[in-house]
Structure 1
Amino acid sequence: MRAYGKVWLVGAGPGAQDLITLRGARILGEAEVVLYDALVTDEMLELCAGAVKINVGKRCGQRSAAQEFINQQLVECAEKYQRVVRLKGGDPMLFGRADEELTALEAHGIEVEVVPGITTALAAAAAAKQPLTKRGVARSVAFFTSSTAPGHPDEVAIPSTDTLVQYMGGREAIATAQRLLAQGRSPDTPVLVMANVSRPDQRIERISLATLAHGLDTAQGPVLVMLGEAMKARDIP
């Protein structure tokens, strides 16, 4: 039986180096090779200065081909190294295609451990000082994305919850706002648009659902959109 090293799927968190977990930072420091996402920051990679670093960011939008290539690279790295890290933005188990990577590794009998990270929605709520739930106002939250796998319908159902958090929410968030308005959601529904959460160029913008439906001035980098009555700015005494 072929001998393989061990693979860790590590959550890098939203971007800031000091928002990775202690366990994640330790494993990064011990890694021999790190395969990292496009959203992983340079300062995060400083934690694995002694490792071979391989950028496996999405290529030209061809998601299925890119993922198959990443799966193959993970297996090949496990053949060469004893300590392999797959470093993912946010949390590996949320919108990180962990299922495909776990399945590919397990098919070869490769040992895998998952190290959770802070998902961007929680970091965004903290940065904006805006809880996702609020007593008497919002007690349910849904994280969703409009991205779909090849062969699946382009338009996904919008979750029916008090607070909605849309990942990768650039142009897709505009379509979401238009659909919500068509479904009867109030045009005055508060919306928070967060770009580059936890990074030096972080941006926070407060708008309404009606404003979002007419367009979004997105900054460079990842955009997260949070909407619902819980997003209403607090009255400061």
Structure 2
Amino acid sequence: MRRPYPFTAGELLKPGIVYLIGAGPGDPGLITVKGRECLRRAEVVIYDYLANPAFLREAPNAEHLYVGKKGGNHHRSQEEINTLLVEKAGEGKTVARLKGGDPYIFGRGGEEALCLRRAGIPFEVVPGVTAGFAAAAYAGIPLTHRDHTTSLALITGHEDPAKKMSSLDWEKLAGAVGTLVFYMGIANLSLIARELMAHGRPADTPVAIVRWATTAQQQTLTATLGDVVEQAAQSRIKPPAVIIVGSVVGLREELRWFDNRPLFGKRILNTRAADQAAELTALLEARGAEVIEAPTIELVAPENYDELDGAIAELETFDWLILTSANGVRCFFRRLAELGRDARALGSCRICVVGPKTAAFLAAHGLRADLVAAEFKGEGVVAALADTDLQDKKILFPKADRAREVIPTELTKLGATVIAPVLYRNVVPAALPETARAALEAGEIDCVAFTASSTVDNLAVLLGDNLAARLKGVAVASIGPITSKTCRKHGLEVAVEPTEYTLEALVEGIVGYFAGGSFS
């Protein structure tokens, strides 16, 4: 007789462990702290169709195995998944079984847990936010409300093919429960509406269908039991979706908060370097946008450090140090540390930075800027320092390889000696992420945000042909006039250019553009 698993409990010398993790409904922020910690410890990640692929970045060195099921098309059967869990843990590995929603609510987690227990595999269950609860909350629907209902039922549309929805106790569901939440019920929508009305639920009972809940693709259809089938057919709404039935659905227009944000439904390309993208992404996502990160810049060391190291060796002889960006601060102090030195090497050298954010990065190193240029470009640094006596002063300006020559040139005219070694180089990454390239090719990008001239030039290189043609129909958002000039050099029409050259102002300009209002 064929054994169902390759191991027995007695043969497992050092079994690993399986974490059955609820990944939530789609928004990566909804995974629990424990779930994320378990994921980071994993050597193998086995994930479903409804588990956000972004979670895989939490375990970059783990083996990633997709076992999803979509619309009845099973990539692997449940039995094969069970066997896979036992095999991987039986090899002594830590396995993260990443499941959409909550593993024990219509997630077949109970079946997987029983399989693991019977095979002698240790496991833990990490609960997650189930899709029904999240869909309702993100659609602005409280599932319970003392003025409407204090009872709630969760029902699956097709958990087991051998069980038919027609066998449910429709009389109790229709009359004894206030709010009903149907999972995976789109295919049975007509039956649900018919049975509920046939057993006494009024035809004017509010109904909501929420698709791709908690993601930027979320769709919410509201109707009544009497017309929901017709409305769903007209809107062509498809799985994955949950169906919410009850008077609480009527509170949606008053309580909706997620899908009425100003950039909801907009897909925006973020071209910042990978280690800088998070700030702009967070600002855009907070306003409802779906952000696709497409790093067009990679920061690397200069070809050699000779000039920079020479300047650092005599740092105490300089009167001013100019740092024009967070990258400049980070790279300068990293090199200082690599040379076995720290901020004490500055001696009495004063520091000029560009903008409050660069000043904040400097403060993280225990230093306060002596001068903060208000204008976010080289001319602003020149203007700020012009009010000081620069005659015979020695200035260190560690710069990016593509930095404009405004600062060295103009400060030299004012009598200073300017040493401007290359601190880091901006290079073009090997390729765009496939998600970004595919979205561009499919015409699914609404706006592209450029935060430096190099992001424009590099995107043109990465796309390999006419940039204006590739971005036809895409709104171009530029952080300032210098970047805008580069955009126009490539034939792009700039839709958004804020008057203040900050990420916050850029995002507000994008919001204004899509609202049909001010672009700055």
Fold similarity call, TM over 0.5: yes
Give the superposition deviation at 1:137.
1.8
Q: Which has the larger radius of gyration?
A: 2
Of the three residues 143, 164, 188, the one matched with 1:172 is: 188
Give the superposition deviation at 1:150.
4.3
> Match of 2:242, SS?
strand
Decide whether the 8 Å contact of 1:34 with 1:87 is kept in 2. yes
1:180/1:116 CA distance change after superposition, 3 Å: same
> Counterpart of 1:147?
158
Decide whether the 8 Å contact of 2:16 with 2:89 is kept in 1. yes
Q: For structure 2, which runs of at least 5 residues remain unmatched after alignment? A: 1-9, 255-520
> Match of 1:232, SS?
helix
AA partner of residue 231 (structure 1): V
Of the three residues 80, 88, 113, the one matched with 2:124 is: 113
- In structure 1, what is the Cα distance between the partners aligned to 2:148 and 2:237? 30
Does residue 231 of structure 1 match 2:244? no
Decide whether the 8 Å contact of 1:148 with 1:154 is kept in 2. no
Q: For structure 1, which runs of at least 5 residues remain unmatched after alignment? A: none
1:215/1:155 CA distance change after superposition, 3 Å: farther
Decide whether the 8 Å contact of 2:184 with 2:239 is kept in 1. no
> Match of 1:43, SS?
helix
- In structure 2, what is the Cα distance between the partners aligned to 1:67 and 1:112? 18
Does residue 94 of structure 1 match 2:105? yes
Select the structure that is richer in helix: 2
> Match of 1:214, SS?
helix
- In structure 2, what is the Cα distance between the partners aligned to 1:62 and 1:72? 19
Render the CA deviation track for 1:174-214: whole Å, top value 9, x for unaligned.
Answer: 21011111222111101111000011101112111111143
- In structure 1, what is the Cα distance between the partners aligned to 2:71 and 2:225? 31
Aligned-pair identity in percent equals 38
Decide whether the 8 Å contact of 2:24 with 2:101 is kept in 1. yes
Render the CA deviation track for 1:17-60: whole Å, top value 9, x for unaligned.
Answer: 11100110111111000111111122122222221111111278
Decide whether the 8 Å contact of 2:106 with 2:159 is kept in 1. no
Task: Calculate the TM-score normalised by the size of structure 1.
Answer: 0.91
> Counterpart of 1:196?
212
> Counterpart of 2:422?
none
Q: Which moved more, 1:202-211 or 1:44-53?
A: 44-53
Give the superposition deviation at 1:85.
1.1
1:219/1:62 CA distance change after superposition, 3 Å: closer
- In structure 1, what is the Cα distance between the partners aligned to 2:115 and 2:214? 32
- In structure 2, what is the Cα distance between the partners aligned to 1:121 and 1:35? 23
> Counterpart of 2:31?
20
Decide whether the 8 Å contact of 2:49 with 2:70 is kept in 1. no
Task: Calculate the TM-score normalised by the size of structure 2.
Answer: 0.43
- In structure 2, what is the Cα distance between the partners aligned to 1:95 and 1:110? 22
Decide whether the 8 Å contact of 1:190 with 1:231 is kept in 2. yes
Decide whether the 8 Å contact of 1:192 with 1:227 is kept in 2. yes
Q: Over aligned residue pairs, what C-alpha RMSD do you find?
A: 2.0
Does residue 211 of structure 1 match 2:227? yes
1:61/1:193 CA distance change after superposition, 3 Å: closer
> Counterpart of 2:64?
53
> Match of 2:138, SS?
helix
Q: Which moved more, 1:40-49 or 1:181-190?
A: 40-49
> Match of 1:85, SS?
strand
> Counterpart of 2:507?
none
Decide whether the 8 Å contact of 1:32 with 1:81 is kept in 2. no
1:114/1:230 CA distance change after superposition, 3 Å: same
Give the superposition deviation at 1:76.
0.5
- In structure 2, what is the Cα distance between the partners aligned to 1:201 and 1:137? 29
